[in-house]
Amino acid sequence: MPVYEYECSGCKKVFEVQQKISEAPLENCPECGDAVKKIVSMSSFQLKGGGWYSDGYSGSSNGKGSSSPAPACPAGGSACKGCAAAS
Protein backbone atom coordinates (compact mmCIF):
# COMPACT_ATOMS: atom_id res chain seq x y z
CA MET A 1 0.00 0.00 0.00
CA PRO A 2 1.39 3.45 -0.90
CA VAL A 3 2.31 6.05 1.69
CA TYR A 4 1.09 9.58 1.02
CA GLU A 5 2.37 12.75 2.66
CA TYR A 6 0.04 15.57 3.68
CA GLU A 7 0.55 19.09 5.04
CA CYS A 8 -1.99 20.85 7.25
CA SER A 9 -2.85 24.45 6.31
CA GLY A 10 -3.65 25.29 9.94
CA CYS A 11 -1.00 23.79 12.21
CA LYS A 12 1.53 23.23 9.36
CA LYS A 13 2.09 19.66 10.52
CA VAL A 14 3.45 17.31 7.84
CA PHE A 15 2.41 13.68 8.23
CA GLU A 16 2.26 10.41 6.31
CA VAL A 17 -0.75 8.16 5.80
CA GLN A 18 -0.77 4.66 4.37
CA GLN A 19 -3.74 4.46 1.98
CA LYS A 20 -5.00 2.31 -0.84
CA ILE A 21 -4.80 3.89 -4.28
CA SER A 22 -8.58 3.61 -4.54
CA GLU A 23 -9.15 5.57 -1.28
CA ALA A 24 -10.10 9.24 -1.41
CA PRO A 25 -7.39 11.69 -0.28
CA LEU A 26 -7.63 13.06 3.25
CA GLU A 27 -9.40 16.38 3.63
CA ASN A 28 -8.86 17.22 7.31
CA CYS A 29 -5.91 17.17 9.70
CA PRO A 30 -6.19 14.49 12.42
CA GLU A 31 -4.65 16.95 14.96
CA CYS A 32 -6.54 20.22 14.45
CA GLY A 33 -9.24 19.42 11.86
CA ASP A 34 -8.09 22.08 9.37
CA ALA A 35 -7.80 21.40 5.63
CA VAL A 36 -4.83 19.38 4.35
CA LYS A 37 -3.16 19.11 0.96
CA LYS A 38 -1.29 16.16 -0.48
CA ILE A 39 2.35 17.01 -1.11
CA VAL A 40 4.98 15.42 -3.30
CA SER A 41 7.72 13.83 -1.24
CA MET A 42 11.04 12.24 -2.06
CA SER A 43 11.00 8.62 -3.04
CA SER A 44 12.48 6.12 -0.64
CA PHE A 45 13.76 3.93 -3.51
CA GLN A 46 17.55 3.64 -3.56
CA LEU A 47 19.96 1.33 -5.37
CA LYS A 48 22.80 0.40 -3.04
CA GLY A 49 25.75 -1.94 -3.33
CA GLY A 50 26.88 -3.96 -6.35
CA GLY A 51 23.52 -5.53 -7.15
CA TRP A 52 22.08 -5.26 -10.63
CA TYR A 53 24.78 -2.92 -11.96
CA SER A 54 27.67 -5.31 -11.37
CA ASP A 55 25.61 -8.29 -12.52
CA GLY A 56 25.96 -7.55 -16.21
CA TYR A 57 24.16 -4.31 -17.00
CA SER A 58 27.24 -2.12 -16.91
CA GLY A 59 28.42 -3.02 -20.38
CA SER A 60 31.71 -4.62 -19.37
CA SER A 61 32.60 -8.14 -18.33
CA ASN A 62 34.32 -7.23 -15.05
CA GLY A 63 31.31 -5.42 -13.52
CA LYS A 64 33.26 -2.22 -12.86
CA GLY A 65 31.63 -0.08 -15.55
CA SER A 66 32.23 0.79 -19.12
CA SER A 67 35.79 1.37 -20.31
CA SER A 68 34.83 3.34 -23.40
CA PRO A 69 36.95 6.42 -24.22
CA ALA A 70 35.81 9.89 -23.16
CA PRO A 71 33.65 11.68 -25.74
CA ALA A 72 35.27 14.19 -28.07
CA CYS A 73 35.16 17.78 -26.87
CA PRO A 74 32.67 19.78 -28.96
CA ALA A 75 34.72 22.98 -28.51
CA GLY A 76 37.94 21.43 -29.76
CA GLY A 77 39.42 20.99 -26.27
CA SER A 78 40.42 24.62 -25.69
CA ALA A 79 37.24 25.92 -24.04
CA CYS A 80 36.55 23.02 -21.67
CA LYS A 81 39.25 23.16 -19.00
CA GLY A 82 37.36 20.90 -16.54
CA CYS A 83 36.03 18.54 -19.22
CA ALA A 84 37.26 14.94 -19.28
CA ALA A 85 37.54 15.13 -23.06
CA ALA A 86 39.85 18.18 -22.85
CA SER A 87 42.63 16.33 -21.03
Three-class SS of residue 14? strand
Q: Does 84 map to a domain? A: no
Residue 46 is assigned to a structural domain of this protein: no
Total domains, the chain: 1
Q: Tell me, yes or no, whether 58 lies in a domain.
A: no
Residue 75 CB neighbours (<10 A): 10
pLDDT computed for residue 53 by the predictor: 59
Output the CA angle 54-56-61, nearest 5 degrees. 90
Is residue 39 within 8 Å of 27, Cβ to Cβ? no
Q: Is residue 17 part of a domain?
A: yes
Residues 35, 10: Cα–Cα separation, whole Å:
7
Asked if 35 and 9 count as a contact pair (C-beta separation under 8 A), the reply is: yes
Expressed as residue numbers, the domain containing 25 is 3-39
- Is residue 28 domain-resident? yes
Report pLDDT digits (tens) over 8-53. 999 999 999 999 989 999 999 999 999 999 998 777 777 776 666 5
Say if 31 falls within a structural domain: yes
